[in-house]
Structure 1
Amino acid sequence: MPAAVLAAVILTMGFGIWSLSRQLAPELISVSASPEAAAMAVLPEKSIAVLPFENLSEEKQNAFLADGVQDDILSALSKVADLKVINRTSVNTYSASRPRNLRELAQTLGVAYVLEGSVRQEGAKLRIVAQLTDARSKTHLWKVRYERDLADVFAIQSEIVQRVISQLQATVSPKEKAALDERPTKDLTAYGLYLRAKALVATISLNAQINEKLREAVQLLDEAIARDPDFFLAYCQLAAAHNYLYFFGLDHTPARLALADAALKTAVRLRPDAGETHLARANFFYRCYLDYEHARRELAMAQRVLPNNSEIFELTGYIDRRQNLWNESARSLQRALALDPRNFFILQQIALSYQEFRQFGAMAAALDRALVLIPHDLDTRVTRASVDLEWRADPRPMHQTISTILAENPASAADLAANWWYVALCERDSTAARQALAVMPASGIATDLNFPRSWCEGLAARVRGDTAVAQTAFLAARAELQKTVSEQPDYGPAFCVLGLIDASLGRKDEAIQEGRHAVEMLPITKDAIDGAELMKYLAVIYAWTGEKDLAIEQIAATLKIRSTVSYGNLKLHPCWDALRGDPRFEKIVADLAPKNTQN
């Protein structure tokens, strides 16, 4: 892509959701600013991007310190309502190791000022350099150098924050000043553990190894808290990691819920009125209880204290989506992008929203925008390639993309296992399915539902006609899921997977009962996204148990709502083989076929 075109795409990134929302949210139609207009727009006077600080330490494992200095300065400035501060996901795309065009960068992010710096640690000594630039004129306003003891790192950060506030002539309220004076911890080792964990949680995205990353983060945070029992931010991050494990069904147990609750209660005890506390409570209510109203109230309180935090609007958008408020979700995510215009995770989520609407052209456009920012991210590359499979029933781009990534980096095989297995089934490629299963994590795959590897082995064997192997694998999967539902009796998706397994084993009555129970536990009125997935899989259960009429009715009902049922999935995936040849099913598939290239 030519540099000028790339710059134009990036410049309009913050406006992208408006044009992408044309079909998803008709009332949000707005004329997108051209790159030229965006470049000429008046940048807010009191606006700043804090770029990653360069690590100049001889020991590269000390890179966490440079990351921490930047992160703390950014977090502190974000608490000042009189400033516009770009969030970390966007600024972190500008690596300190690569040349930066500050004027272009500032126009892309919509800021007038840029703070850069470097950190060098030599034993117990520390050197920090910080430089503030007016990016509009490329004028260096000041450059300061600090050479002090390592223990003074937080004091240095505070001085830099005060210099920035003074230069930008920002008004700071007494409450904001008190928040700026807070120190995260006195233990730098604990601080390093916290930063490593925070980075892991921030990169779960579409990643296939989300379970492993979250559990590693929990371990690091437990170590940090053991060193500093009053480490408030570590408790907030620990609660978030437990929330995710519970929310994604990786450990939807009372024990995991209790761990999340304990971490949150400690955070509340340490700083009951902090914005981070309200945000942590909002995440807890949303992810652990689907208690949207309590979560919204906490987000409103968090916004008063954290005016520049894009996560508040991002989480609001996800709540809107779960409540089937898709237009409101688009607005909320747009507000998040205004504060974090290069946040590829939000773009990924926008793409997934379009998938629910079966608007695959818009889904592809959102992923293309994400790939401008993260061109080598394998999860986004594969998801982008999957669009052709779901939209046009063409698995070749997905197959080729996976092959290309494996050739580039064979060590990425485990991350690709779920998608590799999926496209192999759609292509009826038994060899590829075996290869994917060989590198699949023991915990299985976490896609729309959490499937144990034994179930994946059983389905692959069933497709290739190996009945004996399939039976053995499904029995092993059933033992796993029986244990899961006994530990997680209120988790509908687990009952759905058990229903699929029982349908595979010919346990018709049990399978149908389990599938229906799952839908009753998590109806679309409670969760518009996961509820729709359970409806889809109930159709599969009906198909596998010979209830074709019910299966056809269930597919039709699922197609009337927002769901991931697609032309490509119905046409290619073997889970629908029991319905092939039925004129009603074939008509549904034909009606979903793309009529033209516009979507």
Structure 2
Amino acid sequence: RKFDAANKAIDRGMKAAPQNIGLWETKAKLAVVEKGDVSVSEQAFESAKSMPLTAEGKIKVAGARADVFLLERKYQEGLNAAESLSDDLLSTVPVAICGKYYLIGLARRGLHDEAGARVAFLKAKEFGEEELKKSPDSPDLRVLQAKILAYLGEKDSALAEAKRATDLLPESKDAFGGPDITAGVAEVECILGENDRAIELLDGLLSRPSNITVPLLKLSPAWDPLRQDPKFQAMLEKHGVKT
């Protein structure tokens, strides 16, 4: 993982185009993956306020804002950010409306509102099913739907969607996007309580190029169910120096 080279390349690009939201997005993601650092994301959100953004760009920034709140475990702020997004506006961007209710579900779970979370996940499932009719070969949508189904306790359906996502974009076919799908499948296994399988997948991702790193695993609430598992702790220790 050549973070130094990547950061230098991004910094060069930002000197030439300081208001390029795509470069800010990449820089923020690198900081989270490399160091578990969300401060660059905060800088990006502040900079975005003065950028001329398209409607889709505004949606991406707003969604990312909610995502980062959840990473920070600021669940009420994340909930407010997600709920502030208009369904009508999101309907113009595939997957976005499904993602909104998924984020609401996560935020409500973080706030220990299980009933509210279930309502949100059911809405996300409904929107996901509609989107899948239009884009049945979208691995990203398939793996998102798998997570939603897992949170709803629909284990068999969740695993089936996860397998479809992997079949659509295996790592052997795409060395960049494939590992992201594998990470999503690991999250599905984690949600379902299949700790050993989740850890096995994560261990593999830590052993080859991917966006899964020890700092990210330590930061993200997605992996909280694994925190007390000795195998998870051993995996973090094994890869900690290298990652």
Alignment TM class, shorter chain as reference: 0.7 to 0.9
**Aligned CA distance change for structure 1 residues 415 and 481 (closer, same or farther; 3 Å):** closer
**1:248 aligned residue:** none
CA contact (8 A) 2:98 2:128 kept: no
Question: Which structure is higher in RCO with an 8 Å CA cutoff and minimum separation 6?
Answer: 2
Tell me if the contact between 2:139 and 2:165 (Cα under 8 Å) persists in the aligned partners: yes
**Matched residue, 1:367:** 10
1:114-513 equivalence runs, <5 A: 358-406=1-49, 408=50, 414-437=59-82, 438-439=84-85, 441-443=89-91, 452-513=99-160
From the superposition, tell whether residues 404 and 523 of structure 1 become closer, same or farther in structure 2 (CA, over 3 Å). Answer: closer
Query: Aligned partners of 2:223, 2:94: CA distance in 1, in Å?
Result: 21
CA distance in 1, matches of 2:206, 2:92: 28
In structure 2, the CA distance between the partners of 1:424 and 1:496, relative to structure 1 (3 Å rule), is same
Q: Distance in 2 between matches of 1:515 and 1:591?
A: 27
User: 1:591–1:439: structure 2 CA closer, same or farther, 3 Å change rule?
Assistant: farther
Shift, 1:371, TM fit: 0.5
CA contact 1:471–1:505 (8 Å) conserved in 2: yes
Quick one: which amino acid aligns to residue 143 of structure 2?
Answer: C
Please give the TM-score of this superposition, normalised by the length of structure 2. Answer: 0.84
CA distance in 2, matches of 1:436, 1:418: 8
Q: Quick one: distance in 1 between partners of 2:97 and 2:4?
A: 28
CA distance in structure 2 between the aligned counterparts of 1:495 and 1:476, rounded to whole angstroms: 16
Q: Which amino acid aligns with 2:136?
A: P
Quick one: distance in 1 between partners of 2:149 and 2:136? Answer: 17
The percent identity for this pair of structures is 29
* Unaligned residue ranges in structure 1 (runs of 5+): 1-357
Unaligned regions of 5+ residues in structure 2, if any? none
* Rg larger in structure: 1
User: RMSD of the alignment, in Å?
Assistant: 2.9
Query: Are residues 1:515 and 2:162 paired?
Result: yes
Instruction: Report how far residue 364 of structure 1 moved.
Output: 0.9
Counterpart residue type for residue 454 of structure 1: Y
Per the alignment, in what secondary structure is the counterpart of residue 18 of structure 2?
coil
Preserved CA contact (<8 Å) 1:390 1:566: yes
Kindly state the Cα deviation for residue 415 of structure 1 after the two structures are TM-superposed.
4.3
Tell me the alpha carbon deviations over residues 126-152 of structure 1, each in whole angstroms, 9 at most, x when there is no partner.
xxxxxxxxxxxxxxxxxxxxxxxxxxx
Cα displacement (A) at 1:564:
1.3
Give 1:591 deviation, angstroms: 4.1
Question: Is the CA contact (8 Å cut-off) linking 2:146 and 2:162 kept in structure 1?
Answer: yes
Given candidates 199, 221, 232, the residue that maps to 1:585 is 232
Number of positions where the alignment pairs a residue of Structure 1 with one of Structure 2: 237
